[in-house]
Copies of this chain bind each other. A is one copy, B any other.
């Protein structure tokens, strides 16, 4: 059944909010932005048709206030809400509340989120859909004793994980029975702190696994496509840093097997809209179900570039009740795409976050470069949210050329005023192991053990550096005004200078 959508409220911030707003504009849908006090000057507000304040900066008082957001949606007559990623995107109760409020939640039904959102229930579903998974406990562990029992059953090393978890929180690798008790306690309390539930489960630790995920898109009419895979093995503290599509190690047949398994799982749970099934893949091309993300992923652009599709357009059409226009055979991968997540952090200083004012922003562009970004010169990166500044994506015919193109783009990129991890990407993209696709989820940590600074020495003569520094220092710009400041600062001055009557 078709349902008309005319106005979409975007319940998110940053680049994903802007990306969704752009997709809506392209489909001639009205857009409603919401913002916290830290985001009045954010680009997702500037590009929306309507904008409403949620509350103070902390997410708990703004972007996580589902009640407020629904109230606004209702008040302004928005017929749909796009949750983006993070925040409320995987909150089944919110999805349910939307439906009962008569607002379309652009994502899966709450029922499917509940099944696939909980890791333990998802593992049961995976077994039912006979999808291979890492041996381990299906249900949450009742006690340390059960943990010890299960662990000895499957054999060490094992991995403890939070049932409600994600992003590596509440995770511990355990190499021998002696370490299990302390790890169990630590992971449990960390999980409790992070997710409000200390429930843990346990599985066999796969050695040097790759993290490879399958993008799914399902409609309400039983149609479900897999849009190829993404290789996300370059991670730090279980956070993805670089993603690519396709994976250098996934053959056509492995892709089909993983894709079909993912589709089986989604259909078994009555899944609808965009979703991602994450797998661990070992050196022998065995793949193991890890978890399912019931939302649009940060890294969706690499899939868009190799498939030629727009995933947000597809999400919106599916939410309108339309059937998928494509068949699985229509999905063809072409070329190679690479994404670098540019973070406000300092790789040379324990990756400390680096919020603050961006005083100079020079962005790359040209052939094969896409940037999804919501910062600008004069924007103050708030300390309240995720440190991602931008997603820089490079496309080319081959993986090697995509890497070299990304290097070219990173060379053009300058962000001043705050620290970023741009130099880290140069290091990774020039690393022979990465270029040879010899990567696994432990790759980056091993690389970082050898220090961050890029290998190659400078070709810039000392005297040139000295003259450049002297010229820049002695002709230094007055600091550019921060957003907001701009208005006030200029205010009085202008009043005086122009003698406008007060």
Q: Does A236 contact B (CB under 8 A)?
A: no
Which B residue's beta carbon lies closest to that of A326? B397
The smallest beta-carbon distance between A391 and chain B, in angstroms, is 10
Q: A494 touching B471 by the CB < 8 A rule?
A: no
CB of A368 within 8 Å of the partner chain: yes
Q: Which of A110-118, A167-175, A265-273, A472-480 makes up part of the contact surface?
A: A472-480
Binds B, one of A216-224, A346-354, A381-389, A485-493: A485-493
Interface: A448 (CB within 8 A): no
Q: In the bound complex, do residue A26 and residue B365 qualify as a contact, i.e. CB atoms below 8 Å apart?
A: no
Quick check: A367 and B310 within 8 Å, CB to CB? yes
Q: Quick check: is A427 within 8 A (CB to CB) of the other chain?
A: no
CB pair A370 B372 closer than 8 Å: no
Q: A304 in the interface, Cβ–Cβ < 8 Å? A: yes
C-alpha gap A310/B367 in the complex (Å): 8
What's the least CB distance linking A25 to chain B, in Å?
5
In the complex, per-residue mask of A336-380: 1 if CB is within 8 Å of any chain B CB, else 0: 000000000000000000000000000101111111110000000
Do residues B412 and A47 form an inter-chain contact, with CB atoms below 8 A?
A: yes
Copy tally for this chain in the complex stands at 2
B366 pairs with A18, CB closer than 8 A: yes
Tell yes or no: A334 within 8 A of B by CB: yes
A495 CB–B CB distance under 8 Å: yes
Stretch at the interface among A61-69, A150-158, A403-411: A403-411
Residues 6-29 (chain A) with a chain B CB within 8 angstroms: 18-19, 22-23, 25-28
Does any Cβ of B come within 8 Å of A309's Cβ?
A: yes
Smallest CB separation, A477 vs chain B (Å) = 7
Q: How many angstroms between the C-alpha atoms of A490 and B474 in the bound complex?
A: 8
**A132 contacts which chain B residues (CB < 8 A)?**
none
A41 in contact (CB, < 8 A) = no
Question: Which residue, A25, A28, A401, A407, has most C-beta atoms of chain B within 10 A?
Answer: A25
**A308 in the interface (beta carbon within 8 A):** yes
Q: Say yes or no: is A302 at the interface (Cβ < 8 Å to chain B).
A: no
C-alpha gap A363/B23 in the complex (Å): 17
A208 within 8 A of B: no
Contact flag A487-B471 (CB < 8 Å), given A308-B397, A310-B397, A370-B365: yes
Q: Which listed residue, B19, B301, B490, touches A476 by the CB 8 Å rule?
A: B490
A365-B364 Cα distance, complex, nearest whole Å:
11
One digit per residue, 1 when the CB lies within 8 angstroms of any chain B CB and 0 when it does not, for chain A 305-343 equals: 000111011000000000000000000101100000000
Asked if B475 and A487 make an inter-chain contact with CB atoms under 8 angstroms apart, the answer reads: yes
- 19 inter-chain pairs at a CB distance below 8 angstroms, sorted by A residue, are A22-B366, A23-B367, A26-B396, A26-B405, A26-B408, A308-B334, A308-B397, A312-B367, A313-B397, A365-B372, A366-B370, A367-B372, A370-B370, A474-B491, A474-B495, A475-B490, A475-B491, A476-B494, A477-B490
